[in-house]
């Protein structure tokens, strides 16, 4: 089955064609990130207007890349992100997808953006890289994006049990806000990762070590707002010149604190539940320190679990997981009954 995926939940306008939920035939992502970097964050109204500018050309490029056939001859179904996300941005993708479903008379599947992040783990350019789902489920899923931080038990396709989530800021949000405190650009995650690479000695020499919030609590919840406040308190003790010199050290410590908590709680969940794998999803999954820490801890503890992280370039928003999730959870809904839902949750 060939699915056209469409994703417009935030500042990326993305479309793709995926065969049987796994094989990438075409993939296009346009981003208005440069505009948001200038504004030091995403301004929803501007993001939605940019979505409108890009959506048709992104879909056209995705379809043309692939074949001279008419789209309605090539595509079996359409998948679209309905939430969570920014309402203006979501509406652009949802209404475009509904129009195409009506015009081409193709089934349309509404998809949760966060579930899409999970399924980007299962797509590939090569037919041969087929995932054996017997080695995947049940799985612990760590979703870490700009707006969400959540631990889930995934028993199989579409079968989720929530284990915990952040009580305040998301991990990505914490990266973004801490970066801002250090004068680093938006998005903060990649900026902090870059800045921390230039540190010479990978040992803590901060006056005060940053906290690892909620690590000692017997639950699977997270909290990142205290970490951000701790960074703010320490930054305020230095003048601007000193801060500029200390940026790599702060960046390194922030990244260590956030990734320590994420890995610790995920492994704790994998210890409590008999799972075959840990699956990472969401923009923060692009972080190499996070990925390496997972692999190191799994090896160090001799855990017999597989670890899945999407390719770095597929970690941030794109349509691949949307098309894949639609294939493995194929529940089309008549186009006129599909609505954007900015506050949509996984369960």
Q: CB of 120: closest distance to ligand KG4 in angstroms?
A: 10
Opening angle at CA 186, ends 59 and 162, nearest 5: 75
Q: CB of 227: closest distance to ligand KG4 in angstroms?
A: 14
Nearer to ligand KG4, 213 or 283 (CB): 283
Give the residue among 2, 9, 111, 100 at the shortest CA–CA distance from 56. Answer: 100
Number of residues that bind ligand KG4 (CB under 6 A): 19
Helix (H/G/I), strand (E/B), else coil: 67: coil
Can you tell me which of 145, 266, 277, 315 binds Zn ion, judged by CB under 5 A? 145
* Residue 190 interacting with ligand KG4 (CB under 6 A): yes
| Candidate ranges 26-34, 62-70, 145-153, 232-240; the one touching ligand KG4 (CB under 6 A) | 145-153
Cβ-based neighbour number of residue 210 at 10 Å: 22
Q: If residue 289 lies in a helix (H) or strand (E), which one and from where to where?
A: helix 288-300
Can you tell me which of 7, 169, 193, 253 binds ligand KG4, judged by CB under 6 A? 193
* Residue 317 interacting with Zn ion (CB under 5 A): yes
Whole-Å CA distances, 32 to 48, 182, 341: 10, 23, 22
Nearer to ligand KG4, 21 or 147 (CB): 147
**Cβ atoms of residues 58 and 7 within 8 Å:** no
* Residue 253 interacting with ligand KG4 (CB under 6 A): no
Nearer to ligand KG4, 224 or 335 (CB): 224
* Residue 187 interacting with ligand KG4 (CB under 6 A): yes
Percent helix, strand, coil in the chain (nearest 5)?
45, 20, 35
Distance between CA atoms of residues 251 and 194, nearest Å:
9
* Residue 173 interacting with Zn ion (CB under 5 A): no
* Residue 256 interacting with Zn ion (CB under 5 A): no
Distance between CA atoms of residues 145 and 82, nearest Å:
16
User: Can you give the binding site for ligand KG4, defined by CB under 6 A?
Assistant: 10, 145-147, 172, 175-176, 187-190, 193, 282-284, 286-287, 316-317
User: Can you give the binding site for Zn ion, defined by CB under 5 A?
Assistant: 145, 317
């Amino acid at each position: 089955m060939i699915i056209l995926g469409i994703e417009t939940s935030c500042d990326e306008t993305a479309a793709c064609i995926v065969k049987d939920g796994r094989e990438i035939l075409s993939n296009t992502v346009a981003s208005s990130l440069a505009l948001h970097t200038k504004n030091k964050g995403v301004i929803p109204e501007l993001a939605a207007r940019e979505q409108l500018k890009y959506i048709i050309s992104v879909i056209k490029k995705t379809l043309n890349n692939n074949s001279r056939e008419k789209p309605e001859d090539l595509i079996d179904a359409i998948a679209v992100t309905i939430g969570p996300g920014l309402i203006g941005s979501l509406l652009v993708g949802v209404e475009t997808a509904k129009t195409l479903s009506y015009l081409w008379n193709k089934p349309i599947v509404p998809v949760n953006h966060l579930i899409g992040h999970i399924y980007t783990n299962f797509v590939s350019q090569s037919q041969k890289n087929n995932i054996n789902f017997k080695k995947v489920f049940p799985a612990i899923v760590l979703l870490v994006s700009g707006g969400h931080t959540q631990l889930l038990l995934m028993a199989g396709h579409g079968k989720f049990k929530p284990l915990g989530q952040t009580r305040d800021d998301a991990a990505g949000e914490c990266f973004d806000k801490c970066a801002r405190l250090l004068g680093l650009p938006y998005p903060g995650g990649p900026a902090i990762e870059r800045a921390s690479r230039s540190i010479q000695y990978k040992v803590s020499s901060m006056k005060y070590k940053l906290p690892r919030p909620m690590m000692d609590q017997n639950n699977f919840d997270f909290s990142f707002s205290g970490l951000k406040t701790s960074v703010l308190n320490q930054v305020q003790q230095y003048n601007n010149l000193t801060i500029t010199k200390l940026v790599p050290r702060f960046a390194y410590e922030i990244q260590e604190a956030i990734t320590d908590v994420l890995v610790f709680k995920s492994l704790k969940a994998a210890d409590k539940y008999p799972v075959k794998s840990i699956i990472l999803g969401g923009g923060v999954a692009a972080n190499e320190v996070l990925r390496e820490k997972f692999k190191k801890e799994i090896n160090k503890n001799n855990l017999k679990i597989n670890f899945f992280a999407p390719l770095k370039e597929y970690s941030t928003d794109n349509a691949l997981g949307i098309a894949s999730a639609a294939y493995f959870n194929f529940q089309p809904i008549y186009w006129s009954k599909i609505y954007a839902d900015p506050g949509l949750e996984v369960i």
